[in-house]
Amino acid sequence: MKKSKINIISLGCAKNLVDSEILTGGLKKSNMELTSEPEEAETIIVNTCGFLDQAREESVDVILQAAELKKSGNVKQLIVMGCLSERYPNQLKKELPEVDRFFGTNDHRQIVSFITGKPHSKDDPMFWRSLLTPQHYAYVKIAEGCDNGCSFCSIPIMRGLQTSRPISSIVDESKRLVENGVKELLVIAQDSTSYGWDLEQKVYLSDLIKELNKIDDPLNWIRIHYAHPTHLSQRIIDAMAESDKVCKYLDIPIQHASDRILTSMRRGLGRDGILDRINRLKDAMPDIRLRTTVIVGYPGETEEDFGELYSFLEETQFDRLGIFTYSEEEDTPAEKLNDNVPRAVKDERKAILTDLHHDISADKNSQFAGKALKVIVDEIGDNIGIGRTEYDSPEVDNIVRINGKCDVGKFYSIRITESNAYELIGEIVL
């Protein structure tokens, strides 16, 4: 019997990608055939993002594109899941009648049952997770939801309060991934630094780091993402510094540096507190590289507030920087603030910070000239490879362009010969 072909389109963050991987595994286990080409599929599943205006617009556009294939192509069934679907199910049903069924963020079993027409009762769908990343790295979601209540963020509305996974479950999954060839684990949660606080027997991210560090080769790198500065304790910093597999890298979103804006954002720490965490990290790991994200154009952000943010970024010299313009989120505390910043001003402030970081990044990268760095290869072309150092996460950070033949998923020592703001260029050291 001919198998029904299914295409999964995963939008948004790495946490969404893990959800798509779990669903992919469940479908494969149910003897479904997955295709990467929407035009070939009989069923398309769109895993949506609902966090920002731009992401919501992208999700709707992709759904409408899939709906066109349903009208003119092989597609017989269109399913929508994820954050946007979780938050606005009734509204979407009215506005998108082309969609056959809407599901939430954690409805993996129900989706498989809907497609196959059979109960899907596997107790641990994580066991059947099928990677959508290259086989040498994988994201490990250690908790779902968030308790922080930042004024601008709708994540708790869409994904609920924090629910941490037990350390044993995370370690078991990580070992299975490593046994299948994963060399880099990327630890993710909405707030990784508050991991374990909600468990009946409280544990901490530091405890998890120590257990993950015990996993044998081929695991080389453990990369920590989304560390809320307020919850970055000394015990976590020490565990990172003492773990030989943990990358000298941390994604620590600060969001702003004006005390007035940080208070309104409900971030918990002011400028000095954030600087204290950065200094502690650098004291414990002098060669650490830090990534952060900031928001410009938050309601009431004055030129003075923006100037404080600019000065802070100029002073701290973050290695990697993501910049977002404020997006009003329905039902969040910040929605009630009236002093909105004009769109043109938001865009101008983003451009100013982009220029600042471009120069910082170019200068930092130039300091690698002549040095040999350990690099993992993510993709290859004609006599060229694209890889990353331990200081860079996939998709969002800098790359290393390798002149010469190399293999995906392997580590090489690369001597850096050239650089620009966002990439290093080098050759394999023989």
Q: What is the DSSP letter of 213?
A: T
Tell me what pLDDT residue 158 has. 87
328 with 180, same domain: the answer is: yes
Tell me what pLDDT residue 121 has. 55
- Helix (H), strand (E), coil (C) string for 50-115: CCCHHHHHHHHHHHHHHHHHHHHCCCCEEEEEEHHHHHCHHHHHHHCCCCCEECCCCCHHHHHHHH
Task: Report the distance separating Cα 287 and Cα 273, nearest Å.
Answer: 21
37 with 85, same domain: the answer is: yes
Which of 122, 142, 157 finishes a domain? 122
Domain range enclosing 19: 5-122
268 with 382, same domain: the answer is: no
Q: How many CB atoms lie within 10 A of CB 208?
A: 27
Percent of the chain with pLDDT over 70: 97
pLDDT tens for 336-375 read 998 899 999 999 999 999 999 999 999 999 999 999 999 9
Tell me what pLDDT residue 125 has. 52
203 with 337, same domain: the answer is: yes
Q: Binning pLDDT at 50, 70 and 90, where does residue 287 land? A: very high
pLDDT tens for 109-161 read 889 888 888 775 555 555 578 999 999 999 999 999 999 999 999 989 888 89
Task: Report the distance separating Cα 58 and Cα 46, nearest Å.
Answer: 11
Residue labelled with tokens 């941390």: 250
Pick the closest to residue 11 from 65, 47, 37, 57 (CA basis). 47
Q: How many CB atoms lie within 10 A of CB 5?
A: 18
189 with 262, same domain: the answer is: yes
pLDDT tens for 24-67 read 988 888 888 999 999 999 999 999 998 888 888 999 999 999 99
CA distances from 50 to 85, 102, 143, 159 (A): 8, 14, 19, 11
Question: Residue 394: which CATH number?
Answer: 2.40.50.140
Pick the closest to residue 302 from 354, 256, 333 (CA basis). 256
Pick the closest to residue 125 from 19, 238, 246 (CA basis). 19
Q: Are 290 and 392 in contact (CB under 8 A)?
A: no
Question: Residue 145: which CATH number?
Answer: 3.80.30.20
Task: Report the distance separating Cα 110 and Cα 231, nearest Å.
Answer: 35
Which of 326, 351, 366 finishes a domain? 366
Percent of the chain with pLDDT over 90: 83
103 with 170, same domain: the answer is: no
Task: Report the distance separating Cα 411 and Cα 429, nearest Å.
Answer: 12
349 with 248, same domain: the answer is: yes
pLDDT tens for 261-277 read 999 999 999 999 999 99
Is residue 2 predicted with pLDDT exceeding 70? no
| Domain count for the chain | 3
Tell me what pLDDT residue 30 has. 81
243 with 280, same domain: the answer is: yes
301 with 243, same domain: the answer is: yes
Q: H or E element: which one contains 401?
A: strand 399-403
Q: Are 326 and 297 in contact (CB under 8 A)?
A: yes
Tell me what pLDDT residue 85 has. 92
Task: Report the distance separating Cα 400 and Cα 397, nearest Å.
Answer: 10
Question: Residue 13: which CATH number?
Answer: 3.40.50.12160
Pick the closest to residue 64 from 92, 104, 83, 23 (CA basis). 92
Q: Are 296 and 309 in contact (CB under 8 A)?
A: yes
pTM of the model: 0.92
383 with 315, same domain: the answer is: no
Tell me what pLDDT residue 398 has. 97
100 with 141, same domain: the answer is: no
Tell me what pLDDT residue 275 has. 98
Task: Report the distance separating Cα 295 and Cα 310, nearest Å.
Answer: 12
Tell me what pLDDT residue 26 has. 86
Tell me what pLDDT residue 120 has. 59
Which of 122, 143, 161 finishes a domain? 122
Tell me what pLDDT residue 59 has. 94
72 with 173, same domain: the answer is: no
Tell me what pLDDT residue 72 has. 79
Task: Report the distance separating Cα 395 and Cα 286, nearest Å.
Answer: 25
CA 123 to chain centre: 26
